[in-house]
A = this chain, B = another copy of it.
Amino acid sequence: MKRKITIHDVAKKAELSVSTVSLIMNNKPNVNEETRRKVLEIIRQLGYHPLRSARGLASQSSGNIGFILTEDHFSQAEPFYTKIFLGTEFEARNHNFYILLTTVGWTLKDQSQVPRFLLEHNVDGVIIAGKIGSSWVEYIQEQNLPLILIDYELARHRVSTIGMDNRTGINLVVEHFRTGGHSKIGFIGGDIRHPSIAERFASYRDTLASAGMPINSRWISVGEANTSLDDGYEAAKRIFSLGGERPTAIACANDAMALGCMKFLKEAGIAIPGDVAVSGFDNIEAGLHVEPRLTTVNVHREEMGGIAVRRLVEMIKDHSSVITKTLTPVELIVRDSCGVKESVSD
């Protein structure tokens, strides 16, 4: 049984002390270049690799990043947050970190709910994706752990965030409708308490206002409990059950609700985009498969995860606690549900 190769084996073969080898393993300065080269070569020959748990114990670091998602976000059919998670996994490799994933309840009620990776000091920093109770943010900050929020923010907390350019996204949509000849544009928002949704709604209003277009509250539905397909369906039903003038276009705050909206319109015999144009936000897979294909706003989900990891690794390494807010860009994707051809010029 061949024993595992340790740092001592390397030191012995190099006729040096373990501390020198350790310095080299960790790319520390103050090492003779020749020595470094020699040791590196011996390490290669021996196939030496330091044991993660030994490094962890000695250096009080785990090499892991915790990723926290609320249970309902995790179990969503549409893998919006899953994509973000995979983006973190991918980027983490470039920094020699691994991601530990866990789901939690909405708020931190008692100690038994705390993820094991926090209790066992098995992560060096934490990423939280999506809307979550502030108690979690507070708990993690009390542990002095670097923290990043993705697609969420808490006004009353100093915490770095990665978001997306919601305002520009909806602005592009509404402008696209407007230049395509629409003047009666509605909005389906779902749960307006989510910061991203609120921004999208605000941008809808601002864009209409600055274009001098009418805002009709009967074309707007933002009071749903959530932002699911069913919420979109119900919202559309609400808007189109009202008498009076109807909108000719509906900007939905996400693709799921846009799909629900389309479902209702189809059932009601309202033609898309003939009678009513529809747009979404997020660019989920399903939007490609519906008939007509959904016009939407693309969000770079994997990249958001990647950026979060890069920022977090910075925070871990530099011990810097500068608060940053990063916005990732979005772009309009014109497909068939909006009935407006993309103009050649801008």
- The answer to whether B82 and A93 have CB atoms under 8 Å apart is no
Q: Tell whether A120 is near chain B: CB-to-CB under 8 Å.
A: yes
Q: A121 contacts which chain B residues (CB < 8 A)?
A: 4, 51-53
Q: How far is the CA of A264 from the CA of B286 in the complex (A)?
A: 19
Q: A286 contacts which chain B residues (CB < 8 A)?
A: 285-286, 288-289
From A99-107, A153-161, A267-275, the one touching the partner chain is A99-107
- The answer to whether B57 and A51 have CB atoms under 8 Å apart is yes
Q: Give the contacting residue for A53; candidates B101, B122, B259; CB below 8 A.
A: B122
Q: How far is the CA of A288 from the CA of B53 in the complex (A)?
A: 46
Q: Tell whether A96 is near chain B: CB-to-CB under 8 Å.
A: yes
Q: How far is the CA of A26 from the CA of B90 in the complex (A)?
A: 34
Q: A288 contacts which chain B residues (CB < 8 A)?
A: 286
- List residues 51-100 of chain A with CB under 8 A from any CB of chain B: 51-57, 62-64, 74, 77-79, 82, 86, 89-90, 93, 96, 98-100
- Main SS of the interface on chain A? mixed
Q: Give the contacting residue for A285; candidates B49, B53, B122, B285; CB below 8 A.
A: B285
- The answer to whether B79 and A96 have CB atoms under 8 Å apart is no
Q: A98 contacts which chain B residues (CB < 8 A)?
A: 64, 100-101, 117, 122
Q: Tell whether A50 is near chain B: CB-to-CB under 8 Å.
A: yes
- The answer to whether A120 and B52 have CB atoms under 8 Å apart is yes
- We find that the number of chain A residues with CB closer than 8 angstroms to chain B is 44
Q: How far is the CA of A15 from the CA of B9 in the complex (A)?
A: 40
Query: Do A54 and B57 contact each other (CB < 8 Å), given the known contacts A82-B86, A96-B116, A286-B289?
Result: yes
30 contacts between A and B (CB under 8 A): A47-B111, A50-B120, A51-B57, A51-B121, A52-B56, A52-B62, A52-B122, A53-B55, A53-B56, A53-B121, A54-B57, A56-B56, A63-B122, A74-B86, A77-B285, A79-B79, A89-B101, A96-B116, A98-B101, A98-B122, A99-B100, A99-B101, A100-B100, A259-B289, A285-B285, A285-B286, A286-B286, A286-B288, A289-B290, A291-B291
Q: Please provide the 8 A-B residue pairs with the shortest distance between their CB atoms, ordered closest to farther.
A: A53-B56, A52-B120, A289-B289, A49-B119, A52-B122, A53-B57, A98-B100, A286-B289
